[in-house]
Amino acid sequence: MNVVPTAIADVLVIEPKVFGDDRGFFYESFNQKVFCEKTNINVHFVQDNHSRSEKNVLRGLHYQIQQPQGKLVRVVLGEVLDVAVDIRKNSPTFGQWVSQVLSADNKKMFWVPPGFAHGFVVLSDVAEFLYKTTDYYAPEYERSILWNDAELNIDWKISESARLSEKDKAGVLFKDAEIFE
């Protein structure tokens, strides 16, 4: 696998080695030993999640104030724009964001460490999104930052209106969010 840094050093793009021919393809989507060696990140994943969404569905920006989750995300059907926002108050990149297009075609993965708000929007007609987490989902600690906060100025790369859950419509502004010290 190839590890590609982003503008925020702790967020990484992971490109697996894909073996393919006219019959199809094969790749190792995750190997704990290789992941730790190549990224220098020693993590243990405890939960796998799978979501399916339609075009322009935007989920995020989510994080947990306790039991923060690192996420290794990928797409197995369709295409999404995945976004990570640094909400670690003492970080030199506090308040900055990076994004990556993830698709079934490019097979890239995105490592979003604990201490980041995370979200994605579906760019294709439908997408299936898989992610591993380093801690368990704890709804009592989950928080949401408003996806279109002008201070963050995230380019979601959609021309139509985002389709949001009630929870995401009620997200708070970045300046009012509970953040990590």
Q: Give the model confidence (pLDDT) of 43-56 as tens digits.
A: 999 999 999 999 99
**Token pair for residue 174?**
């970045």
The Cα 5–Cα 1 span in angstroms is 13
Q: State the catalytic residues.
A: 62, 131
- The pTM (predicted TM-score) of the whole model is 0.95
Q: Is the dihedral of CA 12, 67, 165, 93 positive or negative?
A: negative
Contact 16, 3 (CB under 8 A): no
**Chain centroid to CA 118: how far?**
5
The pLDDT, as a whole number, for residue 28 is 92
The pLDDT, as a whole number, for residue 181 is 65
Q: What is the pLDDT of residues 59-69, one digit of tens each?
A: 999 999 999 99
Determine phi and psi for 103, rounding to 5 degrees: -150, 165
At a CB cut-off of 8 Å and minimum separation 6, what does 44 contact?
Answer: 32, 134
The Cα 87–Cα 115 span in angstroms is 6
For residue 88, how many other CB atoms are within 10 A of its CB?
18
At a CB cut-off of 8 Å and minimum separation 6, what does 161 contact?
Answer: 56
The Cα 129–Cα 62 span in angstroms is 15
Closest CA to 101 of 118, 85, 82, 114: 82
Low-confidence ranges of the chain (pLDDT < 70): 181
Q: How many residues are recorded in the chain?
A: 181
Burial of 175 (0-12, 13-18, 19+ CB in 10 A): exposed
CATH of domain 2-176: 2.60.120.10
**Token pair for residue 59?**
């989920």
